Every structure is written in structure tokens, then in C-alpha cells.
Amino acid sequence: FGRFYLQELLNSGGMAEIWLATDERQKPYALRRMHQRLRFNLLARRRFMRGAEIHAKIGDHDRIIGYVEHGKIKGQPYLLMDYVEASNLKELQAQQDPVLLENVAQILIDMAEGLEHMHDNGFMHLDFKPENVLVTRNGSVRLVDFDLAQPIPTKPKKLSKKNPGTPAYMAPEQLQGEPISHRVDIFSYGVAAYELLTHQKPFPGETPGDILARQLDRSKFVAPRQINPDIPLAMEKVILRCLQRDPGARYPFMGVMV
């Protein structure tokens, strides 16, 4: 693929595939390239390239996957990133991997620091979930996938009607198509943290409507310490504040939470 040798397919999603790639000096990279079948899909191409541009603007940080370059090779959009040997948080949770048990407190802090860096640089992630959190064997975290990211507006603004994302991790205002701010990421963090510590979702549901109904009517909501009494009281308070229905009741900034 251009000047790169594709060594191993690491992952394939709806939009793109990720390869372990090497250049002529045998330096390894993670190369994300858009599926060939989407080459005439202008919306997908625009989203892929915008995500790569935002990744470039976020800037280097230990908790964000390293950006190298992006562009097109023979018309096929690609994004070149640092290669790290890691699995995503969803996979590790499913396997009940010991790396989570041994490093759970640090992972929670690192995820928050990654989001804090994004917000400090003017962008909201809008698809923060366990699949987009990589964890290395020594428990080090990297946030990935900025396809849905957008600049943080000066005041809450509505997204396009498409409203892409993952409903289980979306804040109520996002699910309802109301104006949103960076505080939707804070809500998503709360969902991911709750799930990491309890192995359950705070607002389960088969459809976006089911999930929203549980978010709005908290009568069936179970506090995390009722499921896992080992969670420190202070950590439960952090999660509960992140999960507030009203965005104004959540943390004003990730930095305050960190």
C-alpha cells in the first residue's frame, strides 16, 4: 500500500481496517485505511478525513494514540498512527483479563486524562466507549477513533440529524437530538467507568428509546456500590455526578473530575 508493507490485519470495522504496517526501514505503524467498498461514499470519506485532521490537531499526549500522518494513496484515505501492542477495553472486559483487575484505578484515571487533553485542545470525542480505549499489557491507556469528534462549541449546539454514535454511551440530550456540549463525553465516561467496575450497564436497553427511558426515569437505576461494594464511596460519587441527567449537574470540565 504505497510505501508501506501491510503485515497483519489487526482490526476491521464498519468504516475502515487497521493494519500493522512497516515502512522501508521496517519501522512498525498502525495504518488505518478506509474500506475500498466505501470509495464512492462521500459522507464516509469526509468523516474519515475529518477524524484524521482532528487527530492531527489534538496534539501529542501519553493517553492519546500517537498521530504520524494522513492522506490518500491511489485515492484511498489512510491514517498512520503509532503502533502499540494493546487490546481494547471491551475485549479485555469480555475476557475478564487480569490486566484490568491489577490496573483498574490507573485505567480510570488515564481514560479521564485522555479526554481532558482532548477537551483542553478544543475537541469533544462524541464516541467515547470501551472499544475506543486501548490498554497495553502493562495497563497503559490510549484513546482512539476520532471520526465523530467535533470542535467544542462556545454554547451547546445541535448535531446533524444523523446523530451518529453508540446509544448505550450517549447522554440523554444527545439521544434526544438536543443541543450538546463537551459534557456528553463526561456522561459517556461515567457509563464506561460504571461498566468497568460493575460489569453491567447503568441504563440497559435493546433500543435507543429503551436506553433513553431508563436515563430519564431513574426508578430502576442501581448505584454502582450496590453491585460492587468494593468501589470506594468517593469513586461512586464521581460516577454518579458524571451520569446526571442534567448536563449542568455534571462536572463542568474533565479537569475538575481528574
Q: Contact, 122 vs 152, CB < 8 A? A: yes
Q: How far is Cα 125 from Cα 62, in angstroms, rounded to an integer?
A: 17
pLDDT band at 127 (very low <50, low <70, confident <90, very high): very high
71 pLDDT tier (thresholds 50, 70, 90): very high
pLDDT at 161: 64
Provide the pLDDT for residue 165.
83
Q: Which set of grid coordinates corresponds to residue 227?
A: 453491585
162 burial type by CB count under 10 A (0-12 exposed, 13-18 middle, 19+ buried): exposed
* Residue pair 149/79 in contact by the 8 Å Cβ criterion: no
Whether residue 225 is predicted with pLDDT greater than 70 in this model: the reply is yes
Strands (E), 23-130: 28-34, 67-73, 76-82, 86-88, 123-124
User: Residue holding cell 512498525?
Assistant: 28
Instruction: Tell me: pLDDT of 66 over 90.
Output: yes
pLDDT bucket at 233, cuts 50 / 70 / 90: very high
The confidence band for 163, taking pLDDT boundaries of 50, 70 and 90, is: low
- Residue 77's pLDDT is 96
pLDDT at 122: 96
In this predicted structure, the answer to whether residue 227 has a pLDDT above a threshold of 90 is yes
Q: Which tens digit of pLDDT belongs to each residue from 172-217?
A: 999 999 999 999 999 999 999 999 999 999 999 999 999 999 999 9
